[in-house]
Amino acid sequence: MKDFFKMLAACFVALGMWATAGFIFSAVLIGILIASSEQGPRVPKDAMLVLNLSMNVTDTPQADDDLAVLRSALVSNEPPTVHLRALLSALDAAAVDDRIKGIYIHGSFLPSGMGSGFGALKEVRGALVRFKESGKPILAYLRNPDTRDFYIASTADSISLNPMGDLITPGLAIERYYLADFFERYGIGVQVPHAGRYKSFGESLTRKDMSAEDKEQNVALLEDLWADYLLTVSDARGISMEEHQRVIDDNAIISPAIALEVGLVDHIEHISNVLARLRETTGVESGSKSFKQIDATQYIRVVSDYGEFNDAEDQVAVLYAEGTIVGGEGRNDQAGSDRIGRELRKLRHDDSVKAVVLRVNSPGGAAIAADIIGDEVLRMMDAKPVIVSMGSYATSGGYWISSHSDRIFAQENTITGSIGVVGIVPNIERLANDHGIFFDGVKTARHADMFTLSRPKTAEEMALFQTWVDEAYEKFISLVATGRGIDQDRVRELAQGRVWSGIDAVEIGLVDEIGGLADAVRYAAETADLDEYRVVDYPAPRNQLEEILKRLGGGFNPVASQVEGRVSRRLREMMSDLEMLDVFDDPRGVYAIGPILRIGE
């Protein structure tokens, strides 16, 4: 026994030594990186700007990248994150930077959460097109590009494909999982009152297949998104849309030989050939190891002053509402109603802020949380202009908070609308009973226990839930009618929980204009009669050191993330969607949330 305690004590000492050593190592590494970051990255003359697509592009700004190396080593298993507006500004700056010779594109996107949606990527693509207008070249090297990757890479003057690579661009599809049979087998009950024929969020919980209404809206949505992709890429590569569609339909995954034959790529070659051309382009001798370059994430730090008038006193504030709309503060990847409401109040009382652009990239969430944010937007409109810029998603609660504004901008491939309300009422009675667990109790009123998970709701109780859902839906209809200046009966026709593409939303009056974040900022400045102004992001991102210290012990593995399989990605998406149910906090279970449309190949 004595030896046991000696061994136990030795283990504790060893663990303490390892913990101390780990802390010292982390502290030293942080110190080294902070010291080195003070010098900042340098841009070589005649350098290529390297755009590695192996990232997640988010609307919301992230912490400053001074400690990017440490974050890659210690932050939890997430892909590198790049702020959309920072990336757009860097690409625009590179077009007029004499040190930048051109852009080199490689890698493959790692979408996560609401990031790297087609709406955001359309803005990235637009910035690359503007870069080409400067006369500087764009080169791309691809291994197995998917639809997102090729949508961006198609801007290149020269596209090289690995000899063993393929174009994985079989088309767009929406496939949803349905849990009704699973819940039934395991004794979990879910009752879903809803308002709107197309309000399909709850169908995953109560059906075994896609409803006719959901299929109808999804077909129309995908047709618009696919038309944008096909037209954009075909035009860039100089082939007809009909020929492009035929090649995709005949092959699904397009081989290098066919891609070269039809003109989708320019070269079939290994990376060594591409590197040789890059060395030549940047004036580096053939025997050298690499070409002159600066990574886009580093270049963002070089041109971190986004606006043209960075000394101006007047501001156009860009406030981000990204992720599921929840009550309270919310996590970094959620739109917390208290946090966003507080920011709106600050901006309203800040005399230096002359206009606000509300950037929305959200499928919605709790109806009460959306209403809290929407009320603050209404109050802001009484004080200064409010312009909405929709990202890849602005559905349901995301549209709720957008409906009252001076103007709404969206991309052609933005997913918006879904004006409807759904209730989620789960119970675990059979699951508990099957495992020998039973419930009993007393109450002082007929409906005192109606929110319990221990039993299904009675017909009378479900009627009450439906009443709350209908009341929220009618308020939603009224808000949209007032904010958009549309008759309520017409809004009711357009609503029904149906999702629309940005291009359709403009035609039916739910959106004012096709355009990106920069267009919204310019319009806000014009509306506020500003000649010189700064563009400032809100809320301010958490300090990078705080982020690292908060998440010490994790570890992003860039190799593992880049080779994430389709099965693991699908499981991660399912878990992410189901996790949303846990953060919903409306006491009545009433939510203005649209379906999470995982659009892929």
List active site positions.
199, 396
Region of 263 on the Ramachandran plot (φ > 0 left; ψ -120 to 50 alpha; else beta):
left
Cβ-proximal residues to 114 (8 Å cutoff; 6+ apart), any chain = 58, 59, 322, 323, 333, 361, 362, 363, 391, 392, 393
- Collapsed DSSP state (helix, strand, coil) of residue 139: strand
Distance CA 596, CA 410 (A): 18
How far is 342 from 500, CA to CA, in rounded Å? Answer: 30
Please name which of 161, 139, 159, 140 lies closest in space to residue 255, comparing C-alpha atoms: 161
* CB 142, CB 161: distance < 8 Å: yes
SS3 554: coil
Q: How big, in percent rounded to 5, are the helix, strand and coil portions of the chain?
A: 45, 20, 35
Contact (Cβ atoms closer than 8 angstroms) between residue 363 and residue 398: yes
In a 3-state reduction of DSSP, which class is residue 371? helix
Buried b (16+ CB within 10 A) or exposed e, 579-593: ebeebbebebbbbbb
Q: CB burial class (10 A; 0-12, 13-18, 19+) of residue 20?
A: exposed
Longest alpha-carbon distance in the chain: 86
Give me the phi and psi of 501, to 5 degrees please: -75, 160
What lies within 8 Å, CB to CB, of 443 at 6+ separation is 449
d(CA 1, CA 6): 9
For residues 81 and 59, the answer to whether their CB atoms sit within 8 Å is no
Structure-token pair, residue 219: 């077909």
Alpha helices, DSSP H, located in 485-594: 488-494, 502-508, 517-527, 544-550, 558-562, 566-583
Residue 224 DSSP SS3 = helix
User: Residue 235 in 3-state DSSP?
Assistant: helix
> What count of residues does the chain have?
601
